[in-house]
Structure 1
Amino acid sequence: MTEPPAVLSALAGLHVLAVPRGTDLAPLARAWFPVAHWTREPASAEAAPASRPMSGARFRGIAVAPVSTAGVLSLDGAVDVVGPYPLDATDARALTLPAQDSDLYGLPATPVPGATLAPGLVTGWATAVARRTGGGIVPAARDRAVVPDPLSAVDLTLWSSVPLRAADALPLVRPALSGSRLSPVEHDGAHGVGFSLAATYEYDGTVVVSCTRSTEVPVVLSTLDWREHGPWAYRVAWRPHDPLELEMSHPSQLHVIARQRVTPSISRVVATLWRTAGGTVVDAGGFVVSQEEIDARARVRG
């Protein structure tokens, strides 16, 4: 693959995460690593001191342009992510990354002494960030670019302090799953609290809506006020006819079409439950999804 050495020379030996220009990486890091923080804030050219003229007669009229300084984002006190380094859309395309102005961040490709985080966890986070933002990853070997499909993560979970019974949830979610056959598939929880409903489509698989009380919650919830979420997990998940295609980087066209049709329905279910029970929505990558994004997904025609 073509590698612009002037862009990636500072990141030699590191995996490189590419995200759309201007992406705020710190909140995405804290979603997986709550103690993540900038040990050195990135300084952009715009934020740097104004350029000053060079002294001396031979340099009269020549100014030194401010230089961008990459920041250091510590994930756990030992593992650092360095960046951003700007990459324009043309060079991104040459690297087979999404053709957009991007920010590059370097992360360790080998174990870091004293680190509490395994390298696989860090690269897993980077992959999730790339999927979430529509970016990509250039491995340290520079042999290929990895570009996760941002549309492949359709499952959503609402974490709420309010439990609903199946009898109360059924009339709420049925309109959002029009055209399906919706029926309870199991019933759990004390005194009828907690449920699982399945909406089946002839060509598009099944959407499962479940409510369970969980003792394990996503890490990102620890960064929020406790009043913004709860232990009741309303999971809305898609089960295609061929589940193996969920793991494929290039699934069949039939799978993609089915996914396009069910994704808005999943968002409509979550939006309806959210208006009733409140809470915080987390996507399959472990990141918080805003109400505005849920509403935008729900408006897309399936």
Structure 2
Amino acid sequence: MTADGGDDDVLALLDRVLGEPRHLLVLADDVDPAEVEVLAASHFDDAGWLGPAALRLTGAAELTGPWGLDGALRQAFDLPAWAACAFLVHCPVERSGAVPPELLGRGGLLDAFPEGAPAGLEARVLEHLLAQARRLGGALRVAGTGAVLVPDPASAVDLTLYSPVWLEPEACVSVLAGPLPQVRPAWDDEPREPLPPRLEVDGPRAVAVAGMDPGEREWLHAEADAFDAAALARDAVLEGYAAVADLGADGLVEVSVAGEPQAPGILRALPWARHGVIAYELRWRPVDPEAALGPRPPIGQRRARGRVGALIGRAAMALHGVAGGEIVDDDGFLVDVEGLRAP
């Protein structure tokens, strides 16, 4: 399919001279170009088609394509065998200084730009396209070094439910107990800190007292003391809480709940999200984060990631069933709730 949604299945082949100096978003033949536009709109308010085969990401950054790829170009660009088409990235080049050696070897964009990491708009665009490649099972080929980054779609484990509904801590733990039988309140583990002492310096009371006679001063102190006593006796307003599920060798699932005054951009058009949202974050805390979250985790860590990812998906579904809202992955893209039902 062409980028403007037409029925012509034949794509013009990308010329090597045209593609060599530009970044490429590389996709398989089962990806509809419309998906690229939807994901772009998730991150950028001004994203949209400028015309046939021209998609603005944001500002001066845009994609053109999709262009077809043949075997010769796949070999020349060292692309995966499944690579069927590519979008050309048009974006001003912005680079910082050389990447410190201690930050190399971790995978991602820094390894692809050892002489100078992307900055500004170029960095935003490449991070976004790397997230698109992860979501769509694609790849990102960067200009200059020609490095090809193929993010693992399964590496996106963490989820966040954004909802208009606040669940009390006990209710939240009760909902999570189905998909996460090991879940327990985390607030029981943390000692409560005493309230700091009240300081009477340069505040409204001190200013008011300065010009009062002794009787007025005594009355004001009595009123203020009564107000302070009532405030101290009242339970503190709960702004957030957490729960945790210990999975043994698979690590922990941490659930954090808090109000956010501003919804992420992808949700701001929804009426229920205009005045803030409740965020239910579900995150994996592996026993060995360096191995599990690195660019090439060993098979045992990948299996653990798969098991935990399924648990997090079911936990997000359970919360969604009670609180409603929308589920977003760690790259900021919406997640289909029905898709989480798959084993």
**Alignment match, 1:78:** 60
Q: Counterpart of 2:27?
A: 19
Matching of residue 251 in structure 1 with residue 297 in structure 2: yes
Which amino acid in 2 is paired with 1:128? A
Counterpart in 2 of 1:280? 326
Amino acid aligned to 1:32: H
Alignment of 1:195-274 (within 5 A): 195-222=241-268, 224-227=269-272, 231-274=277-320
Residue 9 of structure 1 is aligned with which of 7, 17, 36?
17
Q: Cα distance 1:97–1:176, how it changes in 2: closer, same or farther (>3 A)? A: farther
For 2:83 and 2:170, locate their aligned partners in 1 and report how far apart those are by CA, in whole Å. Answer: 49
Q: Is the 8 A contact 1:13 1:109 kept in 2?
A: no
1:129 to 128, 132, 139: 132
Q: Distance in 2 between matches of 1:96 and 1:211?
A: 44
What residue number does 2:184 align with?
183
What's the offset of the Cα at 1:209? 1.2
- Give the drift of 1:217: 3.3
Instruction: Find the partner of 2:172 among 169, 174, 190.
Output: 169
Contact in 1 for aligned 2:239/2:259 (Cα 8 Å): no
C-alpha contact 1:32 1:220 (8 A) present in aligned 2: yes
| Structure 2, gaps ≥5 residues long | 1-12, 95-118, 193-234
Unaligned runs of at least 5 residues, structure 1: 42-70
Contact 1:211 1:235 in 2 (8 A): yes
Q: Which residue of 1 aligns with 2:339?
A: 293
Task: Give the total of aligned pairs.
Answer: 258
Please report how far the alpha carbon of residue 272 of structure 1 lies from its aligned counterpart in structure 2 after TM superposition.
Answer: 0.5
C-alpha distance 102-228 of structure 1, shift in aligned 2 (>3 A):
farther
Alignment partner, residue 50 of structure 1: none
Contact 1:76/1:117, CA 8 A, preserved across alignment? no
The one-letter amino acid paired with 2:167 is: L
For structure 1, which segment, 71-80 or 227-236, has the greater mean C-alpha deviation from structure 2 after superposition? 227-236
Is contact 2:62–2:91 with CA below 8 Å preserved after alignment? no
Letter in 2 for 1:99: A
TM-score by length of 1: 0.77
SS in 1 for 2:287: coil
1:20 positional shift: 3.0
Q: Percent identity?
A: 31
> Do the aligned partners of 2:61 and 2:92 also contact (CA within 8 Å) in 1?
no
For residues 74 and 17 of structure 1, what CA distance do their matches in structure 2 show?
Answer: 14
Q: Deviations over 1:212-257 (max 9, x none)?
A: 00134322223x4233685100111101011223542101222111
Change beyond 3 A, Cα 1:161–1:89: farther
